[in-house]
Chains A and B, each alone.
Chain A
Amino acid sequence: MKEALILGIETSCDETAAAVVAGGRQVKSNIIASQVDIHRKFGGVVPEIASRKHLELINLVVEEALQAAGCTLADLACLAVTQGPGLVGALLVGVNTAKTLAYATGKPLVAVNHVLAHVAANYLVHDVEFPAVCLVVSGGHTSLLYLAARGEAELLASTRDDAAGEAFDKIARVLGLGYPGGPAIELAAREGDAHAFAFPKAFSGQDDVLAFSFSGLKSAVINTVHNIIQKGQKLPVADVAASFQQAVVDILVEKTCLAARSKGTKTVLLAGGVAANLLLRERLAAALAAEGRSLLFPPLSLCTDNAAMVAAAGWDNYRRGQFAGLDLNADPALDMMRH
C-alpha cells in the first residue's frame, strides 16, 4: 500500500491537470495544461469556455501523466478526483472522466476536496509534524485549518466575502494591471511604497476573531483610486499596489499567527496559489519564527492548481477505504467538513 499508485485528476477552475503519485508522497508525473492565456482577454475565467477546454484536454493530459510516470491505467491502485469546490461545469469534466476510467478499469475511486488538496501539496515535499495549522489562500479560498494528523482537517475560519486571490484580481483590474491579479500586483508593488496609503485591515468578527473579510479593504482601495482619478491626478499604481498587498499580507499574517497561538501548534503550513506571494512567505515566516514556530510551504509549481496534490489528498481517503460511488457528482460548493 505504501507505494500504491494514484492517478489524480483536477479540473476545478482553469487548469486541466493529471498526475501520478506513489504512496501519497512521491510525484511520478505532474501534467498541467493551463488555460490562463485563453481567459486573460476576458479578464477572468469564463465558465463555459473553461468547460469546453477541459473536455478537449482531459484525456490527453491523463495519457501524458501515465506515460510520464511510466505506467498504465492497469497499474493504478486508485483514481482520485477533485469533487469541489470550483466551477460546476469544469468540475463535471474531471469527475465524469475519473469515474468512467475507474468503472472501465475496475479500480476504486476517491473524491477529493480541492481545499484539502492544496493542504496536501505540503505532504509531497515535507515531513510535517502534527498538529499543525494551515492557511489555504487562493483565488477561490481563504481558510484556516487545524490539522490533528495527515488527512484530519478541521475548519477554523474562512472568508466572509471575497477570497484573498479574488481581491487581488479585482484590484489588479481597477489598476489596469491585467489578469491574473496576484502576480501582477506583486510585480507592480516592487516599485511602490507600501506605506503610501493606509488602507483599513482591521476586521474582527464579534463572535469569530479568525474570520477573514476583504470587502472593506477592497472598497477602500477602489474609492481611493476613483478619488485620485476624479481629481485628475496621475494614479500612483505601484504605491496603491504595494499598500494594498501590504494590507492583505498584514491580515493574513495576523489571523494565521492568532490561529497557531490559540491551537498551540509549532508547525504552520501555507498552501494555495497566493502562497506563491513572496511578501506573504517572508512576513509570515518571520512573524512565526518570532514566536518559535516554523512555516512550511510547497514549491511554486505545487501552490497553484495541480493534480499531484489531488492524488496526495486522495491517498488519505484511499488508505481509510473512503471510496466514491459511480453516482459521484460535482459539488461546486463542497463543504470542507464532509471529508
Chain B
Amino acid sequence: MFVLGIDTATLVCSVAVASEDKTVAEYTLQVKKTHSQRLLPLIAALLADAGLTPAGLDGIAVAAGPGSFTGVRIGIVTAKALGQALTIPLCGISTLEALAAQHPWFDGLICPVLDARRRQVYTALFRGGGGSLQRLAEDKAAALPAVLEEVEAYGEKVLFVGDAVPVHQDFIRGELGVKACFMPPESAICRAATVARLGLEQLARGQAASWRELAPRYLRQSEAEVKYRAAHGGGGQCL
C-alpha cells in the first residue's frame, strides 16, 4: 500500500511516499518560493523517482492545519483534487500531531508550536516515551506565555518543536530553564514522511475521509469575520 504524504502548512514544502514498512521517497524544501509553484512538480518528481504513477497510490495524507491559511489550502486543494481524480481515500493530519509524532521515544511532554501571528502560537500537547504518542491537549491558538505556564504545571521535561521555536527559544529557556528541550533543525520541522505514516495508520483504522469530507483546520476565523462579529455580536461560528 502506497500513501502520498503532503505538508505545505508552514514555510516547509514536504512530500513523501510511504508504504507500511518504509519511507520510499521524501523531498523537503524550506525555501522562499510559493507552495503553489513547488508542490505539484515535487509530487511529480517524487512519484517518478519512486517508480510510481498517480494511479498507483492507495491514499493521500495531508497536513490539514493549523498553519498558514494559504499554505494549508494549497495542500488540501491538491489532496482533494488527487482524491477526486483517482477516487482514493484522504487523511487529514493535524500539523501539530505530525510535528510531535517524529519523537515517540522522547520521555516527557512534547509541545509543538507554530507561528500563528497576532502574538500567538498554534499549539497542542502530547506525552512521548515508549514509542507512541499520547495526546494531552487539543490543537488551539494561544499566547506563548500562557502555553508555557500550562506545560510548566506538569513539572516534566518538555520538548519544543515547530517554526516558532527558533524565534522564541531564548524566551522558552528563560521560563522553563533546563526542563526545556530542543531538537536540531531537521527534526523540528514537519516532514511529509511522518504525515504519510500517520495516514497509513488512519487508513489501517478505517478512519480515512473522501474528497467530499476532507476539510482544513484553520482554528481561526478570518479577520473580517472577527471584526464583523465584534461589531455585530455574532455567534462565532465559521461561515
Contact = CB atoms under 8 A, between A and B. Distances in A.
Interface of A: 38, 41-42, 46, 48-49, 51-53, 55-56, 58-60, 62-63, 73, 89, 92-93, 95-97, 99-101, 103-105, 325-330
Interface of A is mostly: helix
A279 B81 CA distance: 42
Contacts of A52: 69, 73, 216, 218, 222, 238-239
A101 B81 contact: yes
Interface in B1-44: 34, 36-41, 43-44
A6 to B, nearest CB: 16
A60 B215 CA distance: 13
Contacts of A62: 84
Nearest to B38: A327
B190 to A, nearest CB: 19
Given A42-B228, A48-B223, A59 B70 contact: no
30 contacts: A46-B225, A48-B222, A48-B224, A49-B222, A49-B225, A51-B70, A51-B73, A52-B216, A52-B218, A52-B239, A55-B73, A59-B80, A59-B212, A62-B84, A89-B69, A89-B73, A96-B77, A96-B78, A97-B77, A99-B40, A100-B77, A100-B82, A100-B85, A101-B85, A103-B40, A103-B43, A104-B85, A104-B86, A326-B41, A326-B44
Nearest to A105: B85
Interface residues of B, number: 35
A53 B239 contact: yes
A60 B81 CA distance: 10
Contacts of B211: 59
A294 to B, nearest CB: 42
A59 B84 contact: yes
> What are the 9 closest A-B residue pairs judged by CB atoms, nearest first?
A104-B85, A100-B81, A48-B222, A46-B224, A326-B40, A96-B77, A104-B54, A329-B37, A327-B37
A49 B223 CA distance: 9
A97 B80 contact: yes
Contacts of B212: 59-60
Interface of B is mostly: helix
Interface of B: 34, 36-41, 43-44, 54, 69-70, 73-74, 76-78, 80-82, 84-86, 211-212, 215-216, 218, 222-225, 228, 238-239
B40 A92 contact: no
A92 B224 contact: no
Given A59-B84, A326-B41, A96 B222 contact: no
A49 B224 contact: yes
A5 to B, nearest CB: 16
Nearest to B232: A41
A42 B221 CA distance: 14
A329 B84 contact: no
A63 B80 CA distance: 12
Contacts of B78: 96, 100
Nearest to B85: A104
B41 A93 contact: no
B85 A329 contact: no
Contact of A93 (B34, B77, B228): B77
A92 B36 contact: yes
A92 B228 contact: no
Contacts of B37: 327-329
Nearest to B80: A59
B37 to A, nearest CB: 5
A100 to B, nearest CB: 4
Contacts of A327: 37-38, 40-41
Nearest to A39: B224
Given A59-B80, A97-B80, A41 B54 contact: no
B239 A38 contact: yes
| Most chain B C-beta atoms within 10 Å of own C-beta, residue among A89, A326, A330 | A326
Contacts of B70: 51, 89, 92
A92 B81 contact: no
B34 A329 contact: yes
A26 B239 CA distance: 36
Contacts of B225: 46, 49
Contacts of B238: 52
B81 A104 contact: yes
B81 A97 contact: yes
A41 B218 CA distance: 22
Contacts of A104: 54, 81-82, 85-86
